[in-house]
């Protein structure tokens, strides 16, 4: 009996040590190891997102397909927009995952838990450094809200034409596919539906 208790105690100790080693990196929680995307990473993500536009990848609420997965599924006879497609957060997550393999995101404000897949709202609240329009660069994020102020979608900023037309890539339910579209600064949609801009912050377990 004593021997069994000793063995169980050793196993428990090893499990605790293993968990401690997994959750700590250089004395810090893995969840606290945060990076902000570089200009090069943002541009690479934007280039990947543009491929969604070029291939006219269908919109599908909850769809998480990468471009390769989508094209393969279409080739196998799957129905676009019904069986395969992407929503707005998937375009962002997959585009940045192409630039930063192994990228992970916070799922709450504590930062104690990380996930590969999150919503637009979680991106906005827990994984974004909020920036102003004059700070935005290609690959940054543009967020959208409903009339109650809740985050409902996200796009990838492309460029600003002239002084007042912001172009971005988004999986659009209205268009039924991923599109490069725009919004006029100061217009009604801008004032009522654009929540702001952000630069992605992320974690990676190395």
Task: Give the per-residue pLDDT at 4.
Answer: 52
One domain, residues 109 and 170: yes
One domain, residues 21 and 53: no
One domain, residues 28 and 43: no
Q: Which domain holds residue 16?
A: 1-33
One domain, residues 4 and 83: no
One domain, residues 109 and 38: yes
One domain, residues 24 and 43: no
Task: Give the per-residue pLDDT at 19.
Answer: 39
Query: Quick check: 15 pLDDT over 90?
Result: no
For the ranges 14-23, 31-40, 106-115, 125-134, the lowest mean pLDDT is seen at 14-23
Whole-angstrom distance, CA of residue 111 vs CA of residue 119:
15
Beta strands in the chain (DSSP E): 24-25, 28-29, 35-36, 103-106, 114-115, 128-131, 141-145, 151-161, 165-172, 177-184, 194-204
One domain, residues 18 and 38: no
One domain, residues 22 and 41: no
Domain count, the chain: 2
- pLDDT average, residue stretch 158-178: 97
Query: Quick check: 2 pLDDT over 80?
Result: no
Q: Residue 160: which CATH number?
A: 3.90.1720.10
Torsion sign across C-alpha atoms 149, 153, 159, 161: negative
One domain, residues 28 and 63: no
One domain, residues 44 and 98: yes
- Give burial (CB, 10 Å; 0-12/13-18/19+) of 154: buried
pLDDT for 100-116, tens place per residue? 999 999 999 999 999 99
- pLDDT average, residue stretch 106-127: 96
3-state secondary structure of 156: strand
Q: How many helices (H) and strands (E) does the chain have?
A: 6, 11
Task: Give the per-residue pLDDT at 154.
Answer: 99
One domain, residues 195 and 145: yes
One domain, residues 15 and 103: no
């Amino acid at each position: 009996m004593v021997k069994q208790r000793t063995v169980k105690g050793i196993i428990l100790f090893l499990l605790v040590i293993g968990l401690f080693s997994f959750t700590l990196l250089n004395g810090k929680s893995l969840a606290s190891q945060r990076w902000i995307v570089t200009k090069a990473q943002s541009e690479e993500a934007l280039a990947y997102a543009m491929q969604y536009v070029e291939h006219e990848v269908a919109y599908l609420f909850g769809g998480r397909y990468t471009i390769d997965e989508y094209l393969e599924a279409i080739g196998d006879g799957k129905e676009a927009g019904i069986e395969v497609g992407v929503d707005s957060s998937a375009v962002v997550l997959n585009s940045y995952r192409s630039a930063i393999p192994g990228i992970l995101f916070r799922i709450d404000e504590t930062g104690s838990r990380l996930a590969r897949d999150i919503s637009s709202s979680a991106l906005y609240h827990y994984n974004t450094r909020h920036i102003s329009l004059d700070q935005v660069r290609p690959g940054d994020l543009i967020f959208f809200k409903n009339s109650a102020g809740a985050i409902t979608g996200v796009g990838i900023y492309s460029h600003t034409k002239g002084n007042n037309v912001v172009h971005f890539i988004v999986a659009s339910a209205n268009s039924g596919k991923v599109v490069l579209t725009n919004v006029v600064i100061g217009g009604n949609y801008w004032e009522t539906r654009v929540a702001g801009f952000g630069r992605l912050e992320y974690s990676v377990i190395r």
